[in-house]
């Protein structure tokens, strides 16, 4: 009797193994589309991004060319009397700051003390993508210093080319997943939606409590980009 039970058990297990080896015999249901895609063009996304960012007290500077971006950045720093700008050493950050006076930009380094970073006039970071539906900038922070540049200075300037605009997070997800899966990838992605803000029980909005009081996004490019 015991042998018969073992034979039946072996037969059941063998059948299960066979079914598992064949794989599923039915189609998986389609994944529901939470955010339908409307596929707007780049200019529509740029306008939507600027409008959404303005609603949450952020600022957008549109620049048709890199030359204009350099000039507008210098104009901004001079007008606000921002003397010390901190930035990660990346090609776009180097390019957009190339018209500034020597010594006005401090490049991120591993031995930077947080207190020193907080004393900068502003931080400058590059966006991996801009989400048009929420006015959000996604920053790839490879080091702690790059992450702190998003938070510690009283103002944060984000620079991005026009082709970094996407409709919403689901539209950006394939690229995010690809970048996150890179073996050499370190650090984290930071999503910035407007300046730091909070409100008390009386719903009085206060900016700059937990991070930068100002957020300025410089979008570079357009139909007549040179």
Question: In angstroms, rounded to a whole number, what is the distance separating the alpha carbons of residues 187 and 206?
Answer: 30
Burial of 141-174, coded b for 16+ CB within 10 Å and e otherwise, reads beeebbbbbbbbbbbbbbbbbbebbbbbbebbee
Read off φ and ψ for residue 199, nearest 5 degrees. Answer: -145, 145
Question: H helices of 26-113, where?
Answer: 42-55, 66-80, 91-96
Assigned domain for 187 exists? yes
Assigned domain for 177 exists? yes
Decide if pLDDT at 14 tops 60. yes
- Residue 36's pLDDT is 81
Residue 137 sits in a domain whose CATH number is 3.40.50.10420
- Residue 156's pLDDT is 95
More confident residue, 97 or 205: 97
pLDDT in tens, 84-117: 999 999 999 999 999 999 899 999 999 999 999 9
The most confident of 92-106, 170-184, 199-213, by mean pLDDT: 92-106
Q: How confident is the model over 186-207, as a mean pLDDT?
A: 73
Burial of 208-221, coded b for 16+ CB within 10 Å and e otherwise, reads eeebbbbbbbbbbb
Under the banding of pLDDT at 50, 70 and 90, the label for residue 1 is: low
Under the banding of pLDDT at 50, 70 and 90, the label for residue 191 is: very high
- Residue 178's pLDDT is 85
Assigned domain for 23 exists? no
* Domain, as residue range, for 197: 40-220
More confident residue, 3 or 221: 221
Q: Which residues pair with 123 in a beta bridge?
A: 86, 156
In the chain, the percentage of residues whose pLDDT exceeds 70 is 82
121-130, 153-162, 166-175: range with lowest mean pLDDT:
166-175
Number of domains in the chain: 1
Assigned domain for 8 exists? no
pLDDT in tens, 35-73: 788 889 999 999 999 999 999 899 999 999 999 999 999
Assigned domain for 160 exists? yes
Q: What average pLDDT does the structure give for the chain? A: 86
């Amino acid at each position: 009797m015991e042998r018969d039970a073992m034979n039946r058990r072996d037969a059941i297990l063998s059948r299960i193994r066979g079914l598992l080896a064949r794989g599923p015999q039915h189609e998986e249901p389609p994944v529901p589309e939470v955010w339908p895609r409307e596929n707007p063009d780049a200019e529509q996304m740029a306008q939507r991004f600027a409008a959404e960012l303005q609603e949450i007290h952020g600022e957008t500077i549109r620049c048709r060319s890199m030359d204009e971006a350099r000039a507008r950045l210098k104009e901004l720093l001079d007008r606000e009397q921002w003397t010390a700008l901190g930035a990660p050493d990346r090609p776009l950050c180097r390019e957009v700051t190339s018209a500034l006076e020597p010594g006005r930009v401090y490049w991120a380094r591993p031995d930077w003390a947080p207190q020193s970073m907080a004393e900068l006039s502003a931080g400058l970071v590059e966006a991996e993508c801009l989400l048009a539906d929420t006015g959000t900038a996604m920053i790839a922070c490879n080091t702690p210093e790059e992450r702190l540049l998003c938070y510690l200075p009283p103002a944060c300037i984000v620079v991005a080319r026009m082709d970094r605009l996407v409709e919403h997070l689901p539209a950006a997800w394939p690229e995010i997943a690809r970048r996150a899966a890179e073996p050499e990838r370190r650090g984290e992605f930071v999503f910035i939606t407007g300046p730091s803000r909070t409100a008390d029980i009386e719903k009085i909005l206060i900016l700059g409590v937990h991070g930068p009081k100002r957020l300025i996004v410089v979008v570079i490019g357009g139909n007549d980009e040179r």
